[in-house]
Chains A and B, each alone.
Chain A
Amino acid sequence: MRDEPTRAGKIGSYVVLIVVSAVTVVPLLYMGALSLQTEAETLSADPVLWPQTPQFGNYTELFERAPFGHFIVNSLVVAGGITLAHLIFDPLVGYVFAKFRFPLRNTLFMALLATLMMPLFVRMIPLYVMMSNLGWLNSYQALIVPFLMDAFGIFLMRQFIQPIPDDLIQAARIDGASELRIYARVILPQVKPALAVLGLFTFVFQWNEFLWPLIATTTEQMRTIPVGLTLFNQEYFTLWHLTAAGSVILFVPTVLLFLFSQRYFVRGITLSGLK
């Protein structure tokens, strides 16, 4: 599929991509516009696309009305910590499932996937009791430890490690490399794009997690951004200008991380494209 596309095919591809990109990006630009509107403009029944005067003060208002700096730090520590843990543990377990043969492999793998099939909120209360028992409520441990690894990441890594030729592993074994060394020197370099994907998606998911931080924190200073954002709504209506400003702030780190990790996707693609 990587041969030179025909001229007509190329134009067609551009048209499709431009249309789809517009559909995905324009609503988000609208959110950016909302974040710069006055409260009156966002509350109005006649929505406007762009504010008369951009209200950059909406962003500073967030910090004045709540410990928003704390929220940002908490979110970074929690989502960052979990992402690091996933990058360490998930590929390792994924590798075992992809490249080792051992009794009960399929059963254990299914048992692993089963952990994804219970919604968090039904597990939440037992977990809450556990954290309370450990004296961990309202701490970073409580926000991080229950999510140190997950079956999503393990499954993802298994799928990407599986196609790596076994010969590579065999050759390393014959050379006398230890299993950990094989993993670190042979396997990991092969799956860099997948690791970038895993890191990005884990971070995005945890960065936006709402329910667990709502339950596991017991002071406003320990809240993460998604939970902290609920402070800005009134009882009967949404303060759109502040909610949108908060959402834009919520967006920035994930977009930055994407731009950073994107390099790895790109390299993978261009390398094979150059062939």
Chain B
Amino acid sequence: MRRLTPGPPRRARRGRLAALFAPSLNRRYVLTAYAFLIPAFAFFALMFYLPIANIISNSLYTGPQADQFAGLENYTRAFGDEGVQNSFVITVIFGAGTTIGAIVIGLALALLLNQRLRGRVMFRAALLVPYLTSVAIVGLLWRNILDPQLGILNRVLIDLGLPTQSWLNTHPLATIIAVTLWMTVGYTMVLFLAGLQGIPMEYHEAATVDGAGPWQRFWRITLPLLTPTTLFVSVMAVISGLQAFGQAYIITGGGPANETDLYIFHVFNVAFTSRDFGYASALSFLLFIVIVIFTVIQLRVGRRNEVQY
């Protein structure tokens, strides 16, 4: 069989130049590929790359109108800014918590729902509904429910004779991670379910014949074959986790004392409270670089684990 996709990963890594001039490569397909891609990238250039280029050039300016040239001052300032460092650390914790949580819980739920169970459709619907609304509404709702003095949760706990909570004061970061997971595990579950369907049954049958137990089959077959989905889920979860905003904007206002001052929320305040668009652009660009690095690492690891059928 001739493969169009890079076959064994090692061969693909041998070099792009080789690919360019490989005699086996059919020119026609390359042209077809570019014919499809050019309009897409024209769109991205106009709507994304130009604005991003704009942001990078803005990051060299300062002042409320972002019109005074400042060179790299915004960048040196960022590295000495304790508020920025604090929010960066918080955001990495938040991103790690939401990514790992979404993958582990989402995959576990997908495996449960991939069995022949009664009411499967209903459970799937129930798990996904929180994702069908917006972070803003989820935030308002949970802020209302969790309020130690006024929320319905403590009212119910009191009625049941249980001790009350004040998690937004005592564990604010963990609380917004939990609320985020509440909203997103259904979404990762659906993606994993879709991925699980793509695994040909023959693999499982073959493994069962070989005497592999369910646990072994999970590690040896399901998980490796699920790599494209897992890769997608983890890349997207890191990207959105590191750019989370609404949780701080709506639920905690970044408090108490900046304990939930998510990076993008911090940048938003630099832009729209302090009106320092130049600095906000620099901070955005720095986060951009961090996310690019995380993503490249994930794609590298993912590509190594990708299985060719």
Residue numbers of A with Cβ under 8 A of B are: 1-5, 9-10, 13-14, 16-17, 20-21, 23-25, 27-28, 30-31, 34, 45-47, 49, 89, 92-93, 95-96, 98-104, 106, 108, 110-119, 121-123, 125-127, 130, 145-146, 148-149, 151-152, 154-156, 159-160, 162-163, 165-167, 169-170, 179, 193-194, 197, 201, 204, 208, 210, 226, 238, 240, 243, 247, 250-251, 254-255, 258-259, 262, 265-266, 268-269, 272-273, 275
Say whether chain B's binding surface is mostly helix, strand, loop, or mixed.
Answer: helix
Specify which chain B residues have a CB less than 8 angstroms from the CB of A166 in the assembled complex.
1-5
Contact A27-B127, Cβ < 8 Å, known A98-B5, A121-B271: no
Shortest Cβ-Cβ A-B pairs, 3 listed: A208-B134, A21-B126, A126-B51
Residue numbers of B with Cβ under 8 A of A are: 1-6, 16, 19-20, 25, 29-30, 32-34, 36-37, 40-41, 43-44, 46-52, 54-55, 109, 111-117, 121-137, 140-142, 144-145, 149-152, 155-156, 182, 186-187, 190-191, 193-198, 201, 204, 208, 214, 217-218, 222, 225, 228-229, 231-232, 235-236, 239, 243, 245, 264, 267-268, 271-272, 277, 280-281, 284, 287-288, 291-292, 295-296, 299, 306, 309
Specify which chain B residues have a CB less than 8 angstroms from the CB of A273 in the assembled complex.
116
Nearest A residue to B233, CB-CB:
A159
Contact A162-B41, Cβ < 8 Å, known A122-B55, A155-B235: no
A-B contact count (CB 8 A): 268
Besides A100-B29, A114-B292, A151-B44, 14 other CB < 8 A contacts?
A1-B196, A27-B182, A89-B40, A100-B30, A101-B6, A101-B30, A102-B30, A111-B44, A118-B52, A204-B133, A247-B133, A258-B132, A266-B121, A273-B116
Specify which chain B residues have a CB less than 8 angstroms from the CB of A240 in the assembled complex.
144
Contact in complex: A102, B33 (CB < 8 Å): yes
Contact in complex: B33, A117 (CB < 8 Å): no
Contact in complex: B115, A2 (CB < 8 Å): yes
Contact in complex: A117, B155 (CB < 8 Å): no
Specify which chain B residues have a CB less than 8 angstroms from the CB of A117 in the assembled complex.
239, 243, 287-288, 291-292, 295
